[in-house]
Structure 1
Amino acid sequence: MSANSADTPGMLEVVLVKAGHTKIRYPAELLDDDGSRVTVRAPWAGDGVRDFGFVRFEQGDVFTEYYWRDRWYAVKEVRDAEGVLKGWYCDITRPATVSGGELVVEDLDLDLWRSADGKAVLRLDEDEFAESGLAATDPRAATAAENALDELERLAREGDFEALLA
């Protein structure tokens, strides 16, 4: 963890773990923590541009990220450098933990994208999830992950998505 974010009030280090290894870590501004949901804001933390075909994440993009201690997903609102909404990228994760200046989530491979206009709702990485073997090693977690993806997709398609983040 960088000393800057850990020692600065209102900052957290976001740590995304996948298959027992840290996938990425980055400092984020703590916007709110109501005991259940933690909201942070951070610039795009990836290297260079990441083009998914349906959206590009690039330098200047700003992510407002919502994590829950009691839900199996994280929702990231993505805006470009001018503040124009690109959409929401959702990670299916184990519930978040916050301790010692770190917000830690375990990525379970499944993802969902909802475009800003709501016309594109895409389930992502279902093949990676199947290959992860989670259904065999932790069937309870696999079921929770699949249910979380279904819930997010329903909310995204029914237009209740923004209410989730209010």
Structure 2
Amino acid sequence: MSAPSTPDTALQVRLVKAGRTKISYPAELLHDDGTRVTVRAAWAAEGVRDFGFVQFRPGDTFTEHYWRDRWYAIKEVRSGDGTLKGWYCDITRPVVRDAEGDLLAEDLDLDLWVSADGSAVIRLDEDEFAESGIADRDPAAALAATTALDELELLAKDGKFTALLA
């Protein structure tokens, strides 16, 4: 773990998949208690990403919560005017901060969307997860990933999801 940082510290978030950087973007550190790291970042991809049930677009703000002891990251998504869209949950290995203090999260393909009002809880990319071959390469990681997805889905359906972010 790197030296403690203070809020407002600029850092990079790097999401890797299969050993390659999927996306890297600047973020502002809001909190790091040694277990959970919270950052704020603007939508980092080009243009609009339309999932059918939600669109991510320039001007959206993500408050991202990463854990060093959990296999997921939860990203609160707000539109440019501050309206809550919902939460995008990435199933990842526990986050690490590198020597520069930047965040490194390894994406394990599984995702969960929770709408702002909690009425939609949608599992995503289970086909990509199966095709990735992780169950054969790293059965323990595959089990941790599916367990994390099940846990988040259950918490969302039981209305206990946002307690993770308190």
What SS does the aligned partner of 1:54 have? coil
Q: 2:141: which partner in 1?
A: 141
Give the TM-score of the pair, scaled to structure 2: 0.94
Cα distance in 2 between the residues matched to 1:101 and 1:42: 16
Unaligned runs of at least 5 residues, structure 1: 1-8
| One-letter code aligned to 1:103 | L
Cα distance in 2 between the residues matched to 1:102 and 1:22: 13
Cα distance in 2 between the residues matched to 1:62 and 1:111: 19
Unaligned runs of at least 5 residues, structure 2: 1-7
Cα deviation for residue 128 of structure 1 reads: 0.2
Cα deviation for residue 73 of structure 1 reads: 0.2
What SS does the aligned partner of 1:150 have? helix
| One-letter code aligned to 2:39 | V
Regions of 4+ moved over 3 Å: none
Q: What is the CA deviation profile of residues 33-88 of structure 1, one whole-angstrom value per residue up to 9, with x for unaligned ones?
A: 00000000000001100000000000000000000000000000000000000000
1:23 equivalenced with 2:22 (yes/no): yes
CA contact (8 A) 1:71 1:95 kept: yes
Q: 1:60: which partner in 2?
A: 59
Give the TM-score of the pair, scaled to structure 1: 0.94
1:128 equivalenced with 2:128 (yes/no): yes
CA contact (8 A) 1:12 1:101 kept: yes
Cα distance in 2 between the residues matched to 1:39 and 1:146: 23
Cα distance in 2 between the residues matched to 1:12 and 1:70: 20
CA contact (8 A) 1:11 1:101 kept: no
Task: Give identity over the alignment, percent.
Answer: 72
